């Protein structure tokens, strides 16, 4: 199987995906490395729709195997915000602070949240594989830890293996084992294996 083109410009996501999918033994390159130029308008109303928009936009230009992820933080108290707008919820550098400010004074039991990751893969023949994963936790009262990226330092994981730590405090291994993206990519990898077996069979 040829290399996989990952439709992102996010270095943090690329590093995670390469690590989680290392058992595929396939080269994973960015859309820029594959020759895709320009921006993609993510105008879907769900993570799944946005993942498909990104994957198909890059596939139409490259014709290769294209993998896209759309993910974000869903906060109960904020009626699901920032949701699909997670990457553009506030000015760059102010997103975490914006969330913390909106939750100022909100008690712990009302700070529930989860991360969602939707994966879409488009093959040269137009076939599509999709997967979704979730990770549950709550929002901290302040940033904790230097690891990860995005909202990681304010998201306290409540899942076994990482419970009590923010994703900013967790090791890469701890995060990958329970994260939304880790779960969606493992589901995707299994679907990919079955897809390839069917094609070869």
Taking the C-alpha atoms of residue 150 and residue 198, their distance in angstroms, rounded to an integer, is 38
Active site residue 69: no
Exposure of 107 by Cβ count < 10 A (0-12 exposed, 13-18 middle, 19+ buried)? exposed
Question: Which DSSP symbol is given to 152?
Answer: G
Phi, psi of 4, rounded to the nearest 5 degrees: -100, 130
The answer to whether 132 touches 74, Cβ cutoff 8 Å, is no
Q: Which one of the listed residues 69, 70, 152, 176 is annotated catalytic?
A: 70
Kindly give the pairing relationship between strand 128-139 and strand 155-157.
antiparallel
Written as six digits, the tokens of 173 are: 């291994």
Taking the C-alpha atoms of residue 62 and residue 60, their distance in angstroms, rounded to an integer, is 6
Q: What residues are annotated to the active site?
A: 70
């Amino acid at each position: 199987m040829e290399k996989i083109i990952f439709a992102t410009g996010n270095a943090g996501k690329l590093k995670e995906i390469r690590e989680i999918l290392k058992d595929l033994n396939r080269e994973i390159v960015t859309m820029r490395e594959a020759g895709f130029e320009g921006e993609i308008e993510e105008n879907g109303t769900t993570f799944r729709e946005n993942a498909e928009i990104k994957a198909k936009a890059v596939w139409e230009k490259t014709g290769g195997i294209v993998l896209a992820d759309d993910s974000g933080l869903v906060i109960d108290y904020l009626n699901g915000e920032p949701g699909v707008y997670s990457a553009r919820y506030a000015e760059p550098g102010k997103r975490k602070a914006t969330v913390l400010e909106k939750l100022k004074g909100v008690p712990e039991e009302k700070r529930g949240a989860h991360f969602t990751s939707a994966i879409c893969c488009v093959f040269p023949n137009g076939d599509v594989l999709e997967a979704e994963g979730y990770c549950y936790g709550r929002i901290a009262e302040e940033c904790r830890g230097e690891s990860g990226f995005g909202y990681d330092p304010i998201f306290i994981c409540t899942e076994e293996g990482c419970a009590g730590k923010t994703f900013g405090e967790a090791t890469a291994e701890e995060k990958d084992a329970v994260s939304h993206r880790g779960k969606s990519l493992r589901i995707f990898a299994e679907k990919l294996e079955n897809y390839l077996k069917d094609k070869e069979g």
